[in-house]
A and B are shown apart, each in its own frame.
Chain A
Amino acid sequence: MPSLPTIEKDVEQRAKSAPDHGAFDSATAGQHDPAVVDYCQRLGDDALILGQRLSEWCGHAPALEVDLSLANIALDLIGQATNFLGLAGNANELAFHRDVLDWKNCWLVEQPNGDFAQTMARQFLFSTWQHMLYDRLAGSSDQRIAAVAAKAVKEVAYHRELAADWVIRLGDGTDESARRMAEGLDWCWRFLPELFELDETLQALVDRGIAVNPQSFEDDYRQAIGAVLAEAKLATPPEQRPILGGRRGHHSEHLGHLLAVMQYLPRTYPDAVW
């Protein structure tokens, strides 16, 4: 092996003044960038809150096999959350030591489980959106975000299929299952506009090629949702007054209760190690 060239003083100086001191793949690259941190929190919070909601089903699902499916989806989402919150900072700290006003998840994921149909409606509407988002996010100019999205997109494709399958089964099932499915969709419908909201933070990241503009796939989304609803013989719910604000820390009354359960132990024993 030939010896390496000596590093000149001025090269060393330039490397030191460069962001991240010239490291190839510094894990802290995004931590200097509040906008990227914010975006990773949005993505991570969405996944973590929905994962927490799904875990409430554990042992209560309609059948043993469904119980396993829901737990599987929850674990996938919590894995994604760990990755995205890890890019935003200390994932544990972010998950267990933030209160309601600091959470950036969308309203849809914090909604209560309701019955099985409402849970499936929520899952279907969210996973379809998340799949389209991650699919595009895998091309992000931020290598770390792209890598997490590329890994997660396969998982989410499965979530989307499974949820759509249940929407069709329940919608095109008995009178009662169809009624419950329609009510579940109706409950969730007002939270869809938030998924396509484009605020300043997001716009700035879209301009830099880091984030995906959700409006670029809104038509595809509405079409995909419509196709499944048609197969389920369900009417598309009427548009309702949109509810926005989750990305800015404005949440429904449900999130505080969810966090109280989720964060109980770390709040009681702040120095606990597990």
Chain B
Amino acid sequence: MSEGKGHDWPLWEVFVRSKGGLSHRHVGSVHAPDAELALRHARDTYTRRLEGVSLWVVPSSAIVASDPAQSGEMFEPAEDKIYRHPTFYDIPDVVKHI
């Protein structure tokens, strides 16, 4: 542990899969000196000790984000192609998690 002070601790993004949840959801971030402590801090901060949850912590520096300035060319072309949207089907009640 070379950095001793709190404000030197790097930022970690926290993803939680809740009990019965299907996927991990981004819930926030924590500061921690390393992955192990990031997990502990994430647990204390975001799960309140609920049993049966799964936690992911990722160094914020490892995440590559799309550029908001380019959101036009990134996402808009999909909007006017309704044949790409599977909205013309009735989902039977027995099918879950769609």
Contacts and interface: CB of A to CB of B under 8 A. Distances in A.
A69 B40 contact: yes
The number of chain A residues touching the other chain, given as a range, is 10 to 19
A162 B36 CA distance: 10
A165 B40 contact: yes
A77 B56 CA distance: 27
Given A169-B1, A173-B1, A174-B4, A63 B40 contact: no
Interface of B: 1, 4, 6, 9, 30-33, 36-37, 40-41, 44-45, 49
Interface in A178-227: none
A62 interface: yes
Interface of A: 62-66, 68-69, 72, 155, 158, 162, 165, 169, 173-174, 177
Contacts of A169: 1, 33
Residue from the set B30, B33, B40, B45 with the largest chain A CB neighbour count within 10 Å? B40
A64 B31 contact: yes
Given A169-B1, A173-B4, A174-B4, A65 B36 contact: no
A62 B37 CA distance: 14
B44 A68 contact: yes
A66 B31 CA distance: 10
Given A69-B41, A173-B4, 19 more contacts: A62-B6, A63-B31, A65-B31, A65-B37, A65-B41, A65-B45, A66-B6, A68-B44, A68-B45, A69-B40, A155-B49, A158-B49, A162-B40, A165-B36, A169-B1, A173-B1, A174-B1, A174-B4, A177-B4
A72 B41 CA distance: 11
Residue from the set B9, B31, B37, B45 with the largest chain A CB neighbour count within 10 Å? B37
A85 B62 CA distance: 49
Contacts of A66: 6
A65 B44 contact: yes
A169 B34 CA distance: 11
A68 B49 CA distance: 12
A177 B37 CA distance: 17
A80 to B, nearest CB: 14
A208 B56 CA distance: 47
A173 B49 CA distance: 28
B31 A69 contact: no
A65 to B, nearest CB: 4
A177 B4 CA distance: 9
Contact of A63 (B9, B36, B49): B9
B33 to A, nearest CB: 8
A235 to B, nearest CB: 20
* 9 A-B pairs closest in CB distance: A63-B6, A65-B41, A68-B44, A173-B1, A72-B44, A69-B44, A65-B30, A68-B45, A169-B1
